[in-house]
């Protein structure tokens, strides 16, 4: 209970309570999760300012927080250039940049609270674990409810099937990795089995092609890692069998998406890129060409004009790429290179270095954070994830909680 003697704990409690409430709510009601994210940032900023006035030492050099801040600075800097110096009136990244900056503030403050033991650290870790599990339960339950009540693709509260698949996959893969390496319980294998099978079923319901492939492959890898820990061939065989059943139940969806992909690739080979896959191939090619002619960055208007003129010159003015380039180029690295130039590629490489390679080096194995980041990296090969304002909030919150939970990991490598 808060009273006059511990009133100084009000801001830390509010910041942390809002943090652990974001993920369980965000999948079901995105706006609610967004509001909580902003409140968490405001509480965190106020707490940082007050403690700075009290001459307390606050670490502003956390590598994970800085990786998010660098993305934010790049987004905002490019948006200022595009808007005020080149008259850009299209898609800008002010909101994405702002959320990255707020993520930096949240990370800095929550890590500070943990380091200074302002709150009960054991309770903090327990609440983070509960939040992650609740996020899985609420999102999975809502997904099956949507599937039973609508013939459309599952979108959860995010209302975009692709982004839903990416975010849900990253969160559940992180949860499975945490169960694999951190949970010490007789029910460890049962937890692993339940989350793996349910998550695979939900991913199939989103009908997102890249997620259907990548999530399945990463689950197979984690199942192999479970075998190296348990050496239980019968159980691993049972997991594999259930995964095959889950895939089999989605056979019609998989068959339809596979046939569509094959047909779209064939059409592209015949010179028709007026398909989802064909337009991606065209965007990747022209995006690389636009980077070559503007290696230090350009506005989206300039890039799109270059691509349009190139397609016109090559008798492909009806390409669907002309429609999609107004959004992005459906590849994280090509998108950054074509707009932000060499700097954008370097910032993106640093981001993945911090969340994958540095994580691996620090812990000697694949951590939940690294697994989530690998999924994001792979999804970024066919889409653009890190400029999504919904995903930025969810990923940054996931990183904070997993970092705190990792401080008490009992590692069995």
CA–CA gap between residue 412 and residue 182 (Å, rounded): 8
State yes or no: pLDDT of 294 exceeds 50: yes
Q: Are 35 and 6 in contact (CB under 8 A)?
A: no
Stretch 15-34: mean pLDDT: 95
Tokens (6 digits) for 147:
């599937």
Q: How many residues does the chain have?
A: 413
Q: Which of 78-82, 207-211, 348-352, 407-411 has the highest mean pLDDT?
A: 348-352
Q: Are 164 and 170 in contact (CB under 8 A)?
A: no
Is 95 exposed, middle or buried, given 0-12, 13-18 or 19+ CB atoms closer than 10 A? middle
pLDDT per residue as tens digits for the range 50-108: 988 887 888 888 999 999 999 999 999 999 988 887 777 666 899 999 999 999 999 99
For residue 171, the model assigns a pLDDT of 97
Of 372, 411, 412, 403, which Cα lies nearest the Cα of 167?
372
Tokens (6 digits) for 66:
């800085």
For residue 411, the model assigns a pLDDT of 42
Q: Are 211 and 219 in contact (CB under 8 A)?
A: no
Cα Rg for the chain, rounded, in angstroms?
Answer: 22
User: Under the phi-then-psi rule, with left for phi > 0, alpha for psi from -120 to 50, and beta for the rest, what region is 117?
Assistant: left
State yes or no: pLDDT of 365 exceeds 90: no
Task: State the pTM of this model.
Answer: 0.91
pLDDT per residue as tens digits for the range 99-144: 999 999 999 999 999 999 989 999 999 999 999 999 999 999 999 9
State yes or no: pLDDT of 240 exceeds 60: yes
Q: pLDDT band for position 4 (50/70/90)?
A: low
pLDDT > 70 in the chain, percent: 95
Q: Worst-scoring range by mean pLDDT, 127-131, 158-162, 167-171, 295-299? A: 158-162
Of 137, 411, 161, which Cα lies nearest the Cα of 276?
161
For residue 6, the model assigns a pLDDT of 58
CB neighbour list of residue 22: distance below 8 Å, 6 or more residues apart: 33, 36, 37, 40, 393, 394, 397
pLDDT per residue as tens digits for the range 316-327: 888 888 888 888
For residue 148, the model assigns a pLDDT of 93
Q: pLDDT band for position 358 (50/70/90)?
A: very high
Tokens (6 digits) for 391:
């995903």
Q: Are 139 and 175 in contact (CB under 8 A)?
A: no
For residue 27, the model assigns a pLDDT of 94
Average pLDDT, the chain: 89
């Amino acid at each position: 209970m808060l009273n006059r003697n511990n009133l100084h704990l009000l801001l830390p409690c509010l910041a942390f309570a809002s943090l652990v409430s974001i993920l369980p709510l965000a999948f079901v009601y995105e706006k609610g999760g967004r509001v909580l994210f902003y409140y968490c940032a405001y509480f965190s900023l106020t707490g940082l300012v007050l403690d700075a006035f009290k001459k307390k030492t606050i670490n502003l050099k956390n590598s994970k927080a800085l990786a998010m801040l660098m993305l934010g600075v790049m987004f905002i800097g490019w948006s200022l250039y595009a808007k005020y110096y080149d008259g850009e009136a299209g898609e800008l990244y002010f909101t994405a940049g702002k959320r990255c900056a707020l993520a930096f503030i949240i990370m800095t403050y929550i890590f500070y609270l943990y380091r200074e033991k302002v709150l009960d650290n054991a309770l903090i870790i327990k609440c983070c674990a509960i939040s992650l599990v609740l996020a899985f339960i609420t999102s999975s339950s809502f997904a099956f409810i949507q599937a039973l009540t609508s013939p459309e693709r599952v979108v959860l509260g995010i209302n975009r099937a692709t982004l839903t698949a990416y975010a849900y996959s990253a969160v559940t893969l992180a949860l499975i990795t945490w169960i694999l390496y951190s949970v010490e319980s007789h029910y460890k294998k049962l937890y692993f089995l339940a989350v793996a099978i349910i998550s695979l079923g939900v991913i199939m319901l989103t009908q997102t092609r890249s997620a259907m492939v990548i999530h399945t492959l990463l689950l197979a890898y984690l199942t192999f890692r479970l075998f190296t820990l348990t050496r239980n061939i019968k159980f691993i065989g049972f997991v594999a069998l259930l995964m095959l059943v889950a895939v089999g139940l989605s056979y019609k969806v998989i068959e339809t998406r596979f046939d569509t992909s094959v047909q779209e690739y064939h059409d592209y080979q015949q010179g028709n890129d007026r398909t989802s896959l064909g337009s991606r191939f065209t965007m990747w090619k022209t995006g690389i060409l636009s980077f070559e002619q503007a290696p230090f960055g350009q506005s989206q208007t300039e890039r799109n004009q270059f691509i349009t003129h190139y397609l016109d010159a090559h008798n492909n003015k009806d390409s669907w790429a002309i429609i999609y380039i107004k959004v992005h180029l459906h590849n994280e690295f090509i998108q950054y290179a074509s707009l932000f130039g060499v700097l954008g590629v370097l910032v993106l490489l640093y981001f993945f270095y911090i969340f994958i390679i540095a994580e691996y080096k620090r812990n000697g194995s694949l951590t939940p954070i690294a697994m989530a980041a690998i999924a994001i990296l792979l999804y970024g090969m066919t889409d653009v994830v890190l400029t999504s304002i919904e995903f930025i909030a969810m990923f940054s919150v996931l990183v904070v909680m997993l970092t705190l939970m990792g401080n008490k990991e009992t590692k069995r490598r």
